[in-house]
Structure 1
């Protein structure tokens, strides 16, 4: 057996462009979109690219299956459709749902097919107490995803009926788990008079800044827009756990575990820091230039599922435009988008819109990740409900073995 000649091989920009059949400028566009990673060696001026990653992109461009992809299967779902720069929940335009209904209403409708106006989710006192004790025991430097994951585990342990996967039982768990996750987070700001609604309660866990009604509406819309987005990495993890008949608390923990990766949940934090730097330096040009010079993608721009505009970003920008205090951050985001467009045309994605909300509201950089995790919990539950109706343990692909052929001597 011979070693793969591409193993560890680095390509120059020109070599990568030739292998891809594109211009060198397009290679950096792939970097900006997150489809390629570049690296600059110590003392070197030019970026280099992993040959295996370039070859994988070539195969995707030719619509050829990569090695091992034959073991995957299409997962039937009736929850979310992404089509032509729009996305739909059960056939209904998701952005229109977010404009006309609150987060709890949309989540419950997604689970049941019935819209209950004014529905509120509440946390059972005993379950919430257990979750709060667990969260309070964490080190002070713990991140929000750490706290949410621990809260989910503690809530599950406190629920003696967690293994009951009957549909009505799962719905009851879902309606109590989401508010438990929110209410278990430490409070930063003063409570708001509209504390009954989930977005209102989450606000005081994200910032000490006193909100106005438009700001609370923006947070509620962000939650609504982020409920689901087809089979993202965390959602696939949820489906695998549900296929093994894990209970809903464990299913959500699986989603939170996948979300904790830097390529999924942390994206909005990178956009937050970039936007804060733009406001501090007074110009997007220098900040965007620094990212491009270092071969890094510009955070908050481009989405592989939306060649054009991300509809979630535009729907959130619409409500943020009604908030006077958000104007500087919103203008900065638009400047980042326009500046980058001189190099490669990329549109703002929902991470940049979340960054406008978090920066303008005095929230920490990880606030967008918290909003994302809380919102997506509803979608994870919807996918778990679907998967519980499927044959158990169907998520069991076979590995494509690439090691030494047996027999081999004992080491």
Structure 2
């Protein structure tokens, strides 16, 4: 029965076996079950318990949606089938759920794990393995003193990979274990800026972390099956971004920023990560590929430009002169406009709303809105997430590169989500053809 089309017994609706569903979708049977875990298909046990069956109409509808996203056979823009992020007008959704709502209600680790598995586990915490963390810290400590956070993160991921002899296991469970370990390694390999002991989990574990701002973060549910570290990743990251003590409202903004930045469809760094996954690179290499594309003023480092601009606005007391300087020099005003949103970036909208509850952010928030209002007199550009993130970094004494660090840590979870999808596809499928523009052969030997 598992290999043949069946009747459901409820009006004759046709049901397909796993093999038939995979053939209609043009994927492997394992991918069919991945669609189920992500909520894109529903399954039902076949009579006698032999395998799963799928509604033919639902499978055909998914196949039609996938076909619309597949690359055209004759060329054109590269399109990749994904069920992770949808950007629709002025909203962004993870697996159909509004990202702003997710940021309001859940921690970064909860959203990341749900994005990977399709199952929400309240209170889940990611824990860094000792061996990987020690290797990452030693590698980071060997860097020159002038090294920036992205230098440290790139080195940390390579060191963590070298410490993991099983990194080439690309089974879903192994990749998930790697992801849950790698992200806290990246955070805890960064030096602390608050002067406290740098290793959580040492002599008493998480209890040695500062308790300031922890109220409201502790999970009120039981800990069965969860990591023993009760400190959310946002709190652990805070002490790597600023020496200032955290408060609950600021931690909430940082957590929201991490959630909102997990993924944003096929940004350049995500495409790089998927290309690596298509070649069956291990998860550490996938993240390294993402870091390589992220490290630039037009992507991950864009928040640093907005940070510097806000500092200048605060120093000069007005946005008008600062905006004028940018326009006079022929430069874009940092933190404004996004090619995917005709209106305001929904991630910026969510963060600005939360920043209203951070008293020390009031001055930087007014400066950011002054920049937007001043620029709007000349061109209809709206604030993007980089401007909102810079309000947090400026108002809490963070360094210029702090926004890029937040971006990189957050997006690591998104790259893993895309890698999990890409590992289910045919390998080496992302292979665009080049359009040769050089001299016509044959030519003499140089």
Structure 1 position 143, deviation (Å)? 1.3
Task: Tell me the matched-pair count.
Answer: 343
Alignment of 1:260-299 (within 5 A): 260-299=295-334
Q: Does structure 2 retain, via aligned residues, the 8 Å contact 1:128–1:180?
A: yes
Structure 1 position 71, deviation (Å)? 6.0
Which of residues 187, 205, 216 in structure 2 aligns to 1:182? Answer: 187
More divergent stretch after superposition (390-399 vs 159-168): 390-399
So what's the TM-score if we normalise by structure 2?
0.76
Which of residues 93, 98, 111 in structure 2 aligns to 1:88? Answer: 93
- Please tell me whether residue 159 in structure 1 is matched to residue 164 in structure 2: yes
Alignment of 1:196-215 (within 5 A): 196-215=231-250
**What is the aligned partner in structure 1 of residue 419 from structure 2?**
384
Structure 1 position 398, deviation (Å)? 1.6
Instruction: Give the distance between the partners of 1:154 and 1:396, measured in 2 at CA.
Output: 29
Structure 2 unmatched runs, 5+: 1-73, 197-208, 215-229
- Please tell me whether residue 192 in structure 1 is matched to residue 210 in structure 2: yes
Q: Which fold has the larger relative contact order, with Cα–Cα distance below 8 Å and residues 6 or more apart in sequence?
A: 1
Q: Does structure 2 retain, via aligned residues, the 8 Å contact 1:301–1:337?
A: yes
- Please tell me whether residue 402 in structure 1 is matched to residue 437 in structure 2: yes
Instruction: Give the distance between the partners of 1:324 and 1:354, measured in 2 at CA.
Output: 16
- Please tell me whether residue 173 in structure 1 is matched to residue 188 in structure 2: no
- SS for the counterpart of 1:70 is coil
**What is the aligned partner in structure 1 of residue 401 from structure 2?**
366
Instruction: Give the distance between the partners of 1:197 and 1:342, measured in 2 at CA.
Output: 42
Structure 1 position 393, deviation (Å)? 0.6
Instruction: Give the distance between the partners of 1:212 and 1:92, measured in 2 at CA.
Output: 28
RMSD: 1.1
Instruction: Give the distance between the partners of 1:261 and 1:354, measured in 2 at CA.
Output: 17
Q: Does structure 2 retain, via aligned residues, the 8 Å contact 1:192–1:201?
A: no
**Structure showing greater Rg:** 2
Alignment of 1:144-155 (within 5 A): 144-155=149-160
1:183-214 Cα deviation digits (max 9, x unpaired): 00011114432471100010000000111111
**What is the aligned partner in structure 2 of residue 126 from structure 1?**
131
- SS for the counterpart of 2:181 is helix
- SS for the counterpart of 2:379 is coil
Q: Does structure 2 retain, via aligned residues, the 8 Å contact 1:192–1:204?
A: no
Instruction: Give the distance between the partners of 1:323 and 1:263, measured in 2 at CA.
Output: 28
Structure 1 unmatched runs, 5+: 1-68
- Please tell me whether residue 302 in structure 1 is matched to residue 307 in structure 2: no
Q: Does structure 1 retain, via aligned residues, the 8 Å contact 2:296–2:302?
A: no
Q: Does structure 2 retain, via aligned residues, the 8 Å contact 1:243–1:391?
A: yes
1:349-374 Cα deviation digits (max 9, x unpaired): 00000100000000000000000000
Which of residues 49, 70, 73 in structure 1 aligns to 2:78? Answer: 73
Instruction: Give the distance between the partners of 2:275 and 2:290, measured in 1 at CA.
Output: 10
**What is the aligned partner in structure 1 of residue 21 from structure 2?**
none
Instruction: Give the distance between the partners of 1:104 and 1:211, measured in 2 at CA.
Output: 19
- Please tell me whether residue 222 in structure 1 is matched to residue 251 in structure 2: no
Alignment of 1:234-249 (within 5 A): 234-249=269-284
So what's the TM-score if we normalise by structure 1?
0.82
Structure 1 position 72, deviation (Å)? 4.7
Instruction: Give the distance between the partners of 2:341 and 2:144, measured in 1 at CA.
Output: 39
Q: Does structure 2 retain, via aligned residues, the 8 Å contact 1:71–1:398?
A: no
